[in-house]
Amino acid sequence: MRFVPRSLFFKMSLSISLVLAVIFGASSYITFRIQSEQALDATRSQAILLTRALKNTIRIGMETGHIESLMSIFHTVGALPGVEKLRVFDEEGRILYSAKLSEIGKLTDELDYAVYRSPERSTPFQSANTGHRSFCMVEPVENEPRCQRCHRREIETLGVLDVCLSMEETEKKIEFNRLLMLSFTGLAIVLTSGMTSILLKRFVSNPVAKLVGTMESVEAGKLDGRVDIRSGDELGRLGNSFNEMIRKLSEAQAEIEKFHHRQLARADRLASLGEMAAGIAHEIKNPLAGIYGAAQVLSKEFPEGDPKREILDEMMALMKRLDNTIRDLLNFSRYTEPQFSEASLNDVIDKVLFLVKQIPEGKRATITREFDPAMPEIEMDQEQIKQVFLNLVLNALQAKPGGCSLTIRTYSEVPADVPDVKHNARFVTASVTDDGPGIPADKIGKIFQPFFTTKEAGTGLGLSMTRKILDLHDGWITASSEVGKGATFRVFLPKVKL
Ligand code: ADP
């Protein structure tokens, strides 16, 4: 698995690691803060407790005259770990007694004295900056009536008890805890992220990579590959469905290939059949011309009205029909590579109409031209395309020989209302519409097949040849009809040779 920044694996691992980091980080920070506050509270309470206890001890010691014991208690408490300051100063701030004997007679700290003089005395306060936090408390020992047995009445305060407890040790422990917690948090994030990544890789990334790999090989045309995901989860089911899809695809492809082979074989057979037909037609054409000529000579030997002459005329008519069939057959089988040149479909159709107007059905027909003036010149074999429209127009005239009403329209691009063809600016199109009897639904699918005809003298090769020519031009033809109302043939040709 490549560790690509845009991969699913990377995104999921990153998201999970971030969420874990936030959760662990936040919980560690909160725990640390709570611990720190609790340690602060505990020191504050200890400071209050110690100060009050000492005050009472002083009072009792003084009342009972056990000054020596009092001093010893002071000394013992002052030496306890964490007791930073233990002293008594007078109203002027001069130290009367201290656990550190060297301080006696000196002035107490300014802050302690200031707190004593303020209304906030008797509440713990943080000492001046000593590099670590400490909690101090100043507590005056008032000159109560029972003290006045020994002390003068005018004195208000006998002394001020000044106690400071250091938090240095506690802070060290908190710092140690903080480092410990940070290390555990880091370790937890690394381990959980690692574990999640391994699970993600095993249960998501690997199956997805297998799916992608198989999809790519299917895309490249290899339909024999299968996804191997054995888990029963959603990805496993996806893999199974995908395998099933490939199996069906491969079956369909095999079916198409078989069909294609059959088509090729058929086309091959048709081609050889065409060649054979062309050969035979060629062989027949010349003797037929000879026989026709001889019949013509013979016919002139007999006077008009002679039954022998009528038989010969009938023979000649049949030979003419045979000759037409041979001509169509030769045209059909002749595979002519189109000779492309630029021309406008409007001009080519006009040439066809000129020819058509020379024959009796053409003369009887009403022909309407609706040509698009913007018709571009396109690459085409003009003779072949002329053949296409000649076939279509002749078919229309033959469908209603008595006087057909024919409309020919051209469009410089496929109009949006043309059925089954997307509005497409890449093709020009032309339609030939007649008002003949139309083509029944069961026949319209067969009219482009070679030799399909409903006409007595028809060869059934016109429309199949038309389709063949359009194929060679990368165009196509469609037919639509409403029985009793007429038929419409549409021809589509590419503007630019494909
Ligand atoms: P042919 O004209 O020799 O019969 P085609 O291939 O040109 O051969 O036409 C095949 C058949 O299609 C015709 O016999 C006819 O039944 C049908 N057909 C073609 N054009 C029309 C049309 N405009 N109206 C009715 N039927 C048509």
37 and 155, same domain (yes or no):
yes
CATH of the domain at 326: 1.10.287
Q: Is 395 in the pocket of ligand 1 (CB under 6 A)?
A: yes
Assigned domain for 480 exists: yes
- The residue whose CA is least distant from atom 20 of ligand 1 is 395
Assigned domain for 213 exists: no
51 and 141, same domain (yes or no):
yes
Q: Is the pLDDT of residue 1 over 50?
A: no
Sequence-distant (≥ 6) Cβ neighbours of residue 97 within 8 angstroms: 71, 74, 87, 88, 104, 159
290 and 317, same domain (yes or no):
yes
Q: Is 391 in the pocket of ligand 1 (CB under 6 A)?
A: yes
Q: Is 462 in the pocket of ligand 1 (CB under 6 A)?
A: yes
407 and 266, same domain (yes or no):
no
The residue to mutate among 446, 453, 480, 488, having the most atoms of ligand 1 within 8 angstroms of its beta carbon, is 453
Calculate helix-pair angle for 206-219, 234-301, nearest 10 degrees.
10
Q: By C-alpha distance, which of 354, 457, 370, 447 is closest to 407?
A: 370
pLDDT digits (tens, 9 = 90+) for 88-125: 999 899 999 888 889 899 999 888 888 888 887 777 77
Atom of ligand 1 nearest to the CA of 452: 10
88 and 149, same domain (yes or no):
yes
Domain boundary among 279, 304, 334: 334
Q: Is 439 in the pocket of ligand 1 (CB under 6 A)?
A: yes
291 and 327, same domain (yes or no):
yes
478 and 362, same domain (yes or no):
yes
Assigned domain for 215 exists: no
Residue 126 CB-density burial (10 A; 0-12 exposed, 13-18 middle, 19+ buried) = middle
pTM for the structure as a whole: 0.47
481 and 438, same domain (yes or no):
yes
Q: Is 434 in the pocket of ligand 1 (CB under 6 A)?
A: yes
Question: Quick one: how far is CA 147 from the chain centroid?
Answer: 92
Q: Is the pLDDT of residue 161 over 60?
A: yes
470, 476 in Cβ contact below 8 A?
yes
Q: Which domain holds residue 145?
A: 8-173
CATH of the domain at 109: 3.30.450.20
Average pLDDT on 36-64 reads 86
Q: Is 329 in the pocket of ligand 1 (CB under 6 A)?
A: no
> Could you tell me the distance, in angstroms and rounded to a whole number, from the CA of residue 395 to the centre of ligand 1?
6
77, 86 in Cβ contact below 8 A?
yes
> Could you tell me the distance, in angstroms and rounded to a whole number, from the CA of residue 454 to the centre of ligand 1?
7
Q: Is the pLDDT of residue 332 over 50?
A: yes
- The residue whose CA is least distant from atom 16 of ligand 1 is 454
Calculate helix-pair angle for 462-472, 382-399, nearest 10 degrees.
150
With a pLDDT cut of 70, the percent of the chain lying above it is: 94
Assigned domain for 218 exists: no
255 and 166, same domain (yes or no):
no
28 and 145, same domain (yes or no):
yes
pLDDT digits (tens, 9 = 90+) for 395-450: 999 999 999 999 999 999 888 888 777 667 889 999 999 999 999 999 999 999 88
pLDDT of residue 270: 63
Size of the chain in residues: 498
Q: How many domains does the chain have?
A: 3
Domain boundary among 288, 313, 334: 334
> Could you tell me the distance, in angstroms and rounded to a whole number, from the CA of residue 449 to the centre of ligand 1?
11
128 and 157, same domain (yes or no):
yes
> Could you tell me the distance, in angstroms and rounded to a whole number, from the CA of residue 368 to the centre of ligand 1?
21
352 and 325, same domain (yes or no):
no
Assigned domain for 275 exists: yes
With a pLDDT cut of 90, the percent of the chain lying above it is: 27
CATH of the domain at 377: 3.30.565.10
